Structure 1
Amino acid sequence: MTKLLDAQGLEISHAGHRTRLKWHRLRKRFADPLFSAEVMAEGFAAGASMELDLRVRADGGFVVLHDKELEGETTGYGPIAKKSGSDLRDIRMKEGARPLILSEDLAGMMQATHPAALLQFDMKDDYEAIGASGIEHLAEHFRDIAASVIVSGGCLDLVMAVKEKLPHLLRGIDPTDKLYGIREASGWKAAETELRADLRGPTEPDTVYLHWPLILAAAKDGFDMIALCRDEGKRVDAWTFTLKDPEAGFSEEEWRSFSALMALKPDQITTDEAPATERAWRRRISG
Structure 2
Amino acid sequence: MVQMTRLLDAQGLEISHEGHRTRLKWHRLRKRFADPLFSAEVMAEGFAAGASMELDLRVRADSGFVVLHDEDLEGETTGHGPIAEKSLGDLGDIRMQEGDRPLILSEDLAAMLQSAHPAALLQFDMKDDYEAIGARGIEHLAAHFRHIAASVIVSGGSLDLIVAVKEKLPHLLRGIDPTDKLYDISKARGWKAVEAELRADLRGPTEPDTIYLQWSLILDAARDGLDMIALCQDQGKRVDAWTFTLKDPEAGFSEEEWLNFSALMALKPDQITTDEAPATERAWRRRMAV
Q: Give the TM-score, by structure 2 length.
A: 0.96
Deviations 1:25-71 (A, max 9, x none): 00000011110111101101100000000000011000000000100
Higher mean displacement: 104-113 or 145-154: 145-154
- C-alpha contact 2:229 2:269 (8 A) present in aligned 1: yes
Deviations 1:235-257 (A, max 9, x none): 00000000000000000000000
Report the CA distance between 1:145 and its aligned residue: 2.6
Q: Is 2:62 aligned against 1:55?
A: no
Secondary structure of 1:72 counterpart? coil
- C-alpha contact 1:112 1:147 (8 A) present in aligned 2: no
- C-alpha contact 2:150 2:172 (8 A) present in aligned 1: no
Q: State the superposition RMSD in angstroms.
A: 1.2
**C-alpha distance in 1 between matches for 2:122 and 2:149:** 11
Q: Is 2:79 aligned against 1:103?
A: no
Alignment partner for residue 268 of structure 2, among 265, 270, 286?
Answer: 265
Q: Which residue number in structure 2 is paired with residue 133 of structure 1? A: 136
Q: Which residue number in structure 2 is paired with residue 190 of structure 1? A: 193
Q: Is 2:178 aligned against 1:175?
A: yes
Q: Which residue number in structure 2 is paired with residue 206 of structure 1? A: 209
Q: Is 2:14 aligned against 1:46?
A: no
Count of residue pairs brought into register by the alignment = 284
- C-alpha contact 2:55 2:67 (8 A) present in aligned 1: yes
Q: Is 2:15 aligned against 1:12?
A: yes
Report the CA distance between 1:155 and its aligned residue: 0.6
Report the CA distance between 1:5 and its aligned residue: 9.5
**C-alpha distance in 2 between matches for 1:117 and 1:86:** 31
**C-alpha distance in 1 between matches for 2:179 and 2:126:** 15
Q: Give the TM-score, by structure 1 length.
A: 0.97
What letter corresponds to residue 161 of structure 2 in structure 1? Answer: L
Q: Which residue number in structure 2 is paired with residue 27 of structure 1? A: 30
**C-alpha distance in 1 between matches for 2:16 and 2:92:** 42
Secondary structure of 2:100 counterpart? coil
**C-alpha distance in 1 between matches for 2:192 and 2:119:** 37
Q: Is 2:44 aligned against 1:37?
A: no
What letter corresponds to residue 250 of structure 1 in structure 2? Answer: F
Structure 2: stretches of 5+ with no match in the other structure: 1-6
Report the CA distance between 1:100 and its aligned residue: 0.1
Identical columns (%): 86
- C-alpha contact 1:173 1:205 (8 A) present in aligned 2: yes
**C-alpha distance in 1 between matches for 2:150 and 2:248:** 33
Secondary structure of 1:106 counterpart? helix
Secondary structure of 1:111 counterpart? helix
Deviations 1:236-284 (A, max 9, x none): 0000000000000000000000000000000000000000000000000
Q: Which residue number in structure 2 is paired with residue 148 of structure 1? A: 151
**C-alpha distance in 2 between matches for 1:184 and 1:147:** 38
- C-alpha contact 1:110 1:147 (8 A) present in aligned 2: no
**C-alpha distance in 1 between matches for 2:99 and 2:9:** 23
Once the two structures are superposed, the pairs formed by residues 239-278 of structure 1 within 5 Å of their partners are 239-278=242-281
**C-alpha distance in 2 between matches for 1:58 and 1:202:** 28
**C-alpha distance in 2 between matches for 1:52 and 1:118:** 11
Structure 1: stretches of 5+ with no match in the other structure: none
Is the alpha carbon distance of 1:217 and 1:156 closer, same or farther for their aligned partners in structure 2, counting shifts above 3 Å?
A: same
